[in-house]
Chain A
Amino acid sequence: MAITLERMRADIAGMIHEDPEEIGLEDNLMDLGIDSMRLLNLILKWQEDGLDLEFAELADRFTLAGWWEAIQAKQAGGGT
């Protein structure tokens, strides 16, 4: 199952018990309560969907937009 922006938004919202529409593209995810453990849990969740992401790859730009860019770059890079 390919990852989509909306799927990511929903997973993040689920992690912090919020509605998906509360997650803005440029919101600082840490301010919303995503910590390293929750990030790791998201990565594990997405790995199950075949997306080979590493923690460090999502750590520097800590917004939904930043993550989406990183994932698109990874997918374009012809990972798996």
Chain B
Amino acid sequence: MDAKPPAATSGTGAPLTEAQTGLWYTQRIDPANPILNTGQYLDIAGLLDVEAFRTAVDATVDEAEALSLRFGDRPDGPVQFIDPARRPFLEVVDVSGADDPAAEALALIEADTNTPLDLARDRIASFRLYRLSGERHFFYERIHHLAIDGFGMVLVTNRVAERYSCLTKGMEPAARFPPLQVALDDDRAYAASQKRDADRAFWHEAMAGLEPVTGMAPGRAISGPGFHRESLYLPSRFMERLQAFAKEAKVTWPDALTALVAAYCRRFAGTEEIVVGVPYMGRLGNVAARVPCMLMNVLPLRIAPDEAQAMGDFLVGVSKQMMRARRHGRYRSEQLRRDLGLVGGQRRLYGPLINMQPFDLPPAMPGLDVTLNILGAGAVDDITFTFRGDAVSALLMEVDSNPALYSAEATRAHSRRLAAFLEKSMEAGTLADVPTACEADVERYLVEANRTGHEVPDTTLTALIEAQMRQTSDAPALVFGDTVLNYAELDRRTAALAGELVRRGAGRDRIVAVALPRSAELVIALIASLRAGAAYLPLDLDNPPQRLARIVAAAEPVCVLAGPGSEAFAGAQVLAPADWPQEPGEEALPQVEPGDMAYVIYTSGSTGDPKGVVIEHRAIVNRLEWMRTHYGFTADDRFLQKTPATFDVSVWEFFLPFLCGARLVVAPPGAHRDPTAIAALVRRHDITTLHFVPSMLSAFLASPASQGLSVARTFCSGEELTADHRDRFHQRIAGELHNLYGPTEAAVDVSYWPAGPDDTSSPVPIGFPVWNTRLYVLDERLRPLPPGVAGHLYLAGVQLARCYLGRPDLTAERFVADPFRPGERMYMTGDLARLREDGAVVYLGRSDHQVKIRGLRIELGEIEAAIAGSGLVSDAAVIVREDRPGDKRIVAYVVAGEGYEAERLRRHMAATLADYMVPPAVVEMQAMPVNANGKLDRKALPAPSFEVVAARAPATPTEAALCQLVADVLGLEMLPDPDADFFNLGGDSLLAVHLLLRVQERFGFDPGLGVLFEHPTIATLAAAIDADRVHDSGLEPVIKLRGGDGGRPPLFIVHPAGGLSWGYRTLARSLVAGRAVYGLQSPAIDPDHPLPDSLDALAADYAQRIAELYPQGPYHLAGWSVGGIIAHAMAVHLQARGKKVGLVAMLDSYPAECWRAEPEPDEAAALRALLAIAGYDPNAHPELTTRAAIIAFLRAGDSPLGNLPGTALDGVVRVVLDTNRLVRTHYHGRYDGTVTHVRAGLDHKERPDLVPELWLAHAVALDCVEVPFLHPQLTAPAASALIAPELDRRLAEYD
């Protein structure tokens, strides 16, 4: 067994040591990376005897065998040789002639350090003496890490100095270095030893239960070719204090520093524990201790400080831990990493490196003044904190960082901040006493970043709106459906209602409740309340009456502006819109003051009662004036109002337009959940400004309706806007995207971030404070935090709410004294946040149990209180689960009490909670799981089963398809029962939008959200779909493009080359309503259906089908391109069978003989026609030339064609490719009637022979229309808008 491997001096070479092997592969993976060139230079001042120095270096190199190593790669692994031919020698370079010799030398040194070595060819080491002048030299040593480590470099350098000293003194130097083979043999011996087994066992135990290791900054820690370095000489008072501090704790100063640096790093990692890497020289007790070679190891050290512990105890604990680690320090960390499966991806064994080099002192040489400069010491994967020197004469702190993870600025900041942290730690009783931020951080991020002071008029929202109403009285102010009010009318209506409200007691500190659906009256009600000097209180009519009644009882409004007949308002005065006065009275409206309350919005409260947030005029005026100025709104803007009034985002939607003289377009009730309706509103009204909660934006972007939309500004707030949302937005919509943030308690939004197309931030920040507003990221002790550390977000400034209505206890709890501005308040958001280096704030989540679902704030406590209030359960817990990414759902866990029935509990919750708060799943538990502390163990709560075992199989293909879609959208593992209710299965309104998007993909049309709410079971929805489609799977030979009233004969439109007639949907809908429109599609789309023999046979088949569908006739026919040829042939067939033919319209079709003479088009050209059929411009995609590329492109897109089932898309390709044959072999019969020809007037520049008159050879008469479009554009909306009236007029002649 003890077959000794070859020595490094042998011809075959020696295998690498374990220590070298890791480095070898690091270099092999990235051969061009020079980071493993370790190097340093001595700055030597004084009269150097260059020849003696040369002798000293050459003799040292001769005895340090590792410096002559050559490496080779063999199939069984890398090997090394001591090769005398590779021995380096001292090169002397004279730079004294340069303008700046020192700079010149440093440039040469830097260039050399940054040049990667070719291990097979280059010398492993290089030594150069740069002569700057007669009295100054730089001695540069550069050795690849494979041959040396930090201590080895010290050995070599000190040996050169020792030999030089001896030479100048005429003495013999002490013993030579031991041979390299000593180290190689020792490595082999250790590899086979029991000691190694014991070491491995130690490390495996030490690393047990390791959580994924992170650094101080997110990202993948792989060393690049360079690093940032920040060097700082710590002053002597620091060194003195350090020595005393360590002595007091009875630890060594390097151990004390290591412990403190690790504690600093942990705060940035944001985890309980940090794993730091501690380089270990591995030489003590090693026979190879004096061999210049690579022996060092990195020991992973897990540090989880109890920050409340006495400082001395903390230091002693870490010191003991390090002592134990060193005893087992020979076990390679590369091996440990492999043992633990921490190789690859972002997995790693340790984060920051903490490197203590107390021996890095310049060597002494007689008559010379020497300083030492370390250039590089190996890879910088993450960040390395190095302390060089004995902490008596000098202590140099170097922070080296990986530029992929840390900027130069962040590196500089860490250096400065760590020095301050160390100093403060050495004076502190516990770590907890030590702030993380240094003074420069506080100045930059607390003071400077919050210098948002801006002059805003001290006025009221009421005054601003009234001024605008006078200024632009004739301009349109408010649009709802067909209702348009100009500013004068708005003034009159709101003044009239305000007068009535005043008569009923409205005024300062009074509240007017508003419970109206989205409508012009809603806007009038809000403004009238403000003009009456009262605050408005919006109420959500979808809330259960009990909840509304509680709110009304607490707020005591002077009256409720609502429609008649809500039981919730039984005790209050209700004023219905029908009873509102239309004309203002004589009396003056009250004077409103900036400190008066403007609105009260209720949010979910943790104790079970909703909390009413009171916002004053001054606060909301600041917010609106900031927004108006910041984004440059003008009277030309058109705002879409679609946010429910109970959500405070609606506040700027409602009022900002009226501060700009702009127009407010109020969406119909319910439209805010329907992407198609939103897109239609935006297009119809040229909306320039709208808002989305990000989850709704996501659904909107997934809808075909949003493609190509143009909106000047889109704002997001309410929940986290992700980088994915941002990127998808800019792929799809032309316009700006802005991320805003703010709780209801601070007048809508307090921060902003422009999420433009060039923004690459991930996560997307919530950004910077608005005017007169301050954002603080603070630690548990309310101390400011530096960038990179997670903390609690606090808000301060003019926008803070006055209070929670009638709840001074809650107000005092959340609105606390601002420690940085005596006499002012700050609001504790409960949000976790982190600052970026640029001062932008990043939202990280909630610190408590408050959650947001679809932007709606929910206190789980309120739901728990409602469940407890049912009296049906003995214990309850409510959590939000995200079992699938991005899919948050509320789940209630209950332990049944007396009389418990799931349905009774559900009814109780539905009666007391807002609909969005009712948990879609209730899980019955025997007992709640608890952890060791007796607290609820949330992680142990099981995932709910939304699944219901299907009671019956789907009865129709539509049911089957719909069951699958529902299962996909809800993430069900089994197909649901066709009779199951989508909402009972776990669906909610957002998931409903997703379902409808899938329905549209699958069935080719969108039945609309209303249909789903109307038919919530799968079976009834399937029936509704079937009823709407006649017998339309989207691929059937005849599809209904538009329903009719049965009074007029239908129009049949024949498919173009692709065989599908979906493309006629726009044209069909552009025709006058009442006439049914059918599309004819090629039966050959079904791959099992044979291709037709001829175009005539196809036309005969179609004629037969329509005759069956509409036996009485007459038959109106149309077709685009090839469809026109087929329509003509059908007309011939129908006439031959004695049927009456009406309109025969062809959209830019030309007879078959025009094509027979053309060269055969290639397959690619035919396939490219598919792009046009799918709605793309083929000329925009010249790169798509193959069948596979085109199919892949279509599949990746969101056209209905790209979403066809696989076989159907193949069928379409087949039909496209066959079309050419059909046309070329077709010979026209003669149609005894008139052909209507719609010519694409902009096309056919290269084929002037293509003229409508060609049809006169195959018809009696010709009726020509020309539209200014290209051939491929004829079915698009713009062309359809011109063509449809032409067809309507001609069709009407037959009615």
User: Do residues B255 and A37 form an inter-chain contact, with CB atoms below 8 A?
Assistant: yes
Among A39-56, those with CB < 8 Å from B are 39-41, 54-56
Cβ of A30 < 8 Å from any Cβ of B?
A: yes
Nearest residue, chain B, Cβ from A28: B285
Task: Say how far A44's CB is from chain B's closest CB, in angstroms.
Answer: 9
Count residues on chain A whose CB falls below 8 Å from chain B CBs.
Answer: 22
User: Do residues A60 and B288 form an inter-chain contact, with CB atoms below 8 A?
Assistant: yes
Nearest residue, chain B, Cβ from A79: B174
Give Cα A39 to B252, complex, Å.
11
Cβ of A59 < 8 Å from any Cβ of B?
A: yes
User: Do residues A37 and B253 form an inter-chain contact, with CB atoms below 8 A?
Assistant: yes
User: Do residues B290 and A37 form an inter-chain contact, with CB atoms below 8 A?
Assistant: no
Q: Mark A10-52, 1 if CB is under 8 A from B, else 0.
A: 0000000100000000001111011111111100000000000
Cβ of A68 < 8 Å from any Cβ of B?
A: no
- A residues near B327, Cβ cutoff 8 Å: 30-31
Q: Known: A17-B250, A30-B284, A35-B323. Is A59-B358 also a contact (CB below 8 A)?
A: no
User: Do residues A35 and B250 form an inter-chain contact, with CB atoms below 8 A?
Assistant: no
Q: Mark B36-61, 1 if CB is under 8 A from A, else 0.
A: 00000000000000000000000000
Give Cα A40 to B391, complex, Å.
12
Q: Known: A56-B155, A56-B289. Is A35-B358 also a contact (CB below 8 A)?
A: no
The one of A37, A38, A59 in contact with B285, judged by C-beta atoms closer than 8 angstroms, is: A59
Q: Mark B833-850, 1 if CB is under 8 A from A, else 0.
A: 000000000000000000
User: Do residues B252 and A30 form an inter-chain contact, with CB atoms below 8 A?
Assistant: no
User: Do residues B289 and A37 form an inter-chain contact, with CB atoms below 8 A?
Assistant: no
Task: Say how far B501's CB is from chain A's closest CB, in angstroms.
Answer: 80
User: Do residues B252 and A38 form an inter-chain contact, with CB atoms below 8 A?
Assistant: yes
Give Cα A45 to B289, complex, Å.
21
User: Do residues B284 and A39 form an inter-chain contact, with CB atoms below 8 A?
Assistant: yes
Give Cα A33 to B250, complex, Å.
13
Give Cα A30 to B289, complex, Å.
14
Cβ of B254 < 8 Å from any Cβ of A?
A: yes
Cβ of B287 < 8 Å from any Cβ of A?
A: yes
User: Do residues A29 and B323 form an inter-chain contact, with CB atoms below 8 A?
Assistant: no
Q: Known: A17-B250, A30-B326. Is A35-B359 also a contact (CB below 8 A)?
A: no
Count residues on chain B whose CB falls below 8 Å from chain A CBs.
Answer: 24
Cβ of A57 < 8 Å from any Cβ of B?
A: yes
Cβ of B814 < 8 Å from any Cβ of A?
A: no
- A residues near B288, Cβ cutoff 8 Å: 60
- A residues near B640, Cβ cutoff 8 Å: none
Cβ of B286 < 8 Å from any Cβ of A?
A: yes
- A residues near B284, Cβ cutoff 8 Å: 29-30, 34-36, 39, 59, 62
Task: Say how far A9's CB is from chain B's closest CB, in angstroms.
Answer: 18
Task: Say how far A30's CB is from chain B's closest CB, in angstroms.
Answer: 5
Give Cα A80 to B660, complex, Å.
93
Give Cα A13 to B512, complex, Å.
83
The one of B158, B253, B358 in contact with A36, judged by C-beta atoms closer than 8 angstroms, is: B358
Give Cα A17 to B883, complex, Å.
55
Give Cα A31 to B155, complex, Å.
25
Give Cα A35 to B288, complex, Å.
17
Q: Known: A33-B323, A60-B286. Is A40-B250 also a contact (CB below 8 A)?
A: no
- B residues near A17, Cβ cutoff 8 Å: 250
The one of B283, B322, B326 in contact with A59, judged by C-beta atoms closer than 8 angstroms, is: B283
Task: Say how far B1054's CB is from chain A's closest CB, in angstroms.
Answer: 89
Nearest residue, chain B, Cβ from A56: B290
User: Do residues B252 and A37 form an inter-chain contact, with CB atoms below 8 A?
Assistant: yes
Give Cα A30 to B286, complex, Å.
11
Nearest residue, chain B, Cβ from A73: B175
Cβ of B1103 < 8 Å from any Cβ of A?
A: no
User: Do residues B290 and A60 form an inter-chain contact, with CB atoms below 8 A?
Assistant: yes
User: Do residues A60 and B358 form an inter-chain contact, with CB atoms below 8 A?
Assistant: no
Q: Known: A35-B323, A40-B358. Is A59-B255 also a contact (CB below 8 A)?
A: no
Given contacts A56-B283, A61-B285, 12 further A-B contacts (CB under 8 A): A28-B285, A29-B284, A30-B327, A36-B281, A36-B359, A40-B358, A40-B359, A55-B359, A60-B286, A60-B288, A60-B289, A60-B290
Closest 5 CB pairs of A and B: A62-B285, A59-B289, A60-B289, A37-B252, A56-B290
A positions within 8 Å CB-CB of B: 17, 28-31, 33-41, 54-57, 59-62
B positions within 8 Å CB-CB of A: 155, 158, 250, 252-255, 281, 283-290, 322-323, 326-327, 356, 358-359, 390
Q: List 22 A-B contacts (CB under 8 A).
A: A17-B250, A29-B284, A29-B285, A30-B284, A30-B285, A30-B327, A35-B322, A35-B323, A35-B326, A36-B358, A37-B253, A37-B254, A37-B356, A40-B358, A59-B283, A59-B284, A60-B286, A60-B288, A60-B289, A62-B284, A62-B285, A62-B286
